[in-house]
Amino acid sequence: MANEREHPAVGIVGATGLVGRELLAILPGSPLGRGAPRLFASTRSAGSTLPWRGGSIPVEAAGPDVFGGIDVAFFCAGGDVSRQLAPAAVKAGAVVIDNTSAFRMDSGVPLIVPEINGDVLDASALPGIPGIIANPNCSTIIALMAVTPLHRAAGIKRMVIATYQAASGAGAAFARELEQQAEDHVAGRPYTTETIGRQYLFNLFSHDSPIGPDGYNQEERKLVRETHKIWDDATPAITATCVRVPVLRAHSEAINLTFNEPLTEDAALKLLAAAPGVRIVDDRDANRFPEPADATGLDEVLVGRIRADRSQPPGMGLDLFVCGDQLRKGAALNAVQIAERVFAMATTAARTAGH
């Protein structure tokens, strides 16, 4: 395991996808990137290579027998692949950090945003013991980075979220087709709709996840359930409307909050200014607030339009607008932060044990 080596051996399942490539961009700046990771994808990409520190690494076909010697396995190849292969990785001795929704709501699986509930990991995960840790849904992470400090101060009674989600949140093929539609537009051709099934450029549409019998789509349900699990508190009433907008990268969310206890606009501003991983962009004079183009490539979640909700009694409601890079904090960065925390715990435990 990690604690017996100089650095943990890392594997990425889904390395050729958008989240996988973002992991490859982040890892060189992390202690987890001291050694070259092993890269896995489908048989379609096996034999290709991906760049790493000025060189390249071959991509291998993922399968149940590939995980020997891997300490930390990042999974970002979709829920089916995680369900199929993550147990094999755990059996081979790896800690799995899963970016899909496959295990998020399983009772034994921690669902972690390190700035918010990283302590759950410290309390529940025994260093060096393989298992699965889930990375939450990207819209959930981005919302909770801003809302949790306010929840801790005043208690959220009700939260209403409207999302404006980027194309790349649905994977490489989706993002590519939005770009293709832009090329089609310039060329005066009919829009290519093979992947998305509709005009996306100059349009927006209800989130492309399945709708349940109650009329909520899966993304909206994830926002509610995952928030309750991360906060370990199912009392806040939460509703959401999730929408895809023709933005390539970084999700935006309009969030309306009702508090249990009064919280002024100024107090909220102070809390958000001190919150780790949050950057305030709230220039009313210049009418400049968070924008996905500005959030793209950033680690922090941008928060602005911070204002008292005047439809509620003074101090009892607040409106916010947040933008966050869903490939970084919404996926790859959060996953690396989880793994770094596990690795640090394992190293500390090894030192304590006198290794």
Q: Which is nearer to ligand NAP, 15 or 150 (CB)?
A: 15
Q: Which of 31, 36, 42, 265 binds ligand NAP (CB under 6 A)?
A: 42
Q: How many helices (DSSP H) and strands (DSSP E) are in the chain? A: 9, 14
Instruction: Give, in order, the Cα–Cα distances in Å from 221 to each of 151, 215, 234, 258.
Output: 20, 10, 13, 20
- Does position 19 bind ligand NAP by CB under 6 A? yes
Q: Which of 35, 93, 118, 171 binds ligand NAP (CB under 6 A)?
A: 171
- Does position 112 bind ligand NAP by CB under 6 A? no
- Does position 138 bind ligand NAP by CB under 6 A? yes
Kindly state the smallest distance separating residue 122's Cβ from ligand NAP, in Å: 24
Q: Which is nearer to ligand NAP, 2 or 62 (CB)?
A: 62
C-alpha triplet 259, 300, 247: angle, nearest 5°: 95
Cα–Cα distance between 82 and 250 in angstroms, integer? 24
Cβ count near 311 (within 10 Å): 10
Q: Which is nearer to ligand NAP, 37 or 127 (CB)?
A: 37
Contact flags string 207-226 toward ligand NAP, x per CB under 6 A: --------------------
Is 169 in contact with 138 (CB distance < 8 Å)? yes
| Helix (H/G/I), strand (E/B), else coil: 72 | strand
- Does position 242 bind ligand NAP by CB under 6 A? no
Pairing of strands 156-165, 72-75: unpaired
Write the CB contacts of 90 (distance below 8 Å, at least 6 apart in sequence): 96, 130, 131, 132
Q: Which of 169, 236, 277, 324 binds ligand NAP (CB under 6 A)?
A: 169
Binding interface with ligand NAP (CB under 6 A): 14-20, 41-42, 44-45, 62, 76-79, 81, 99-100, 138, 168-169, 171-173, 326-327, 330-331
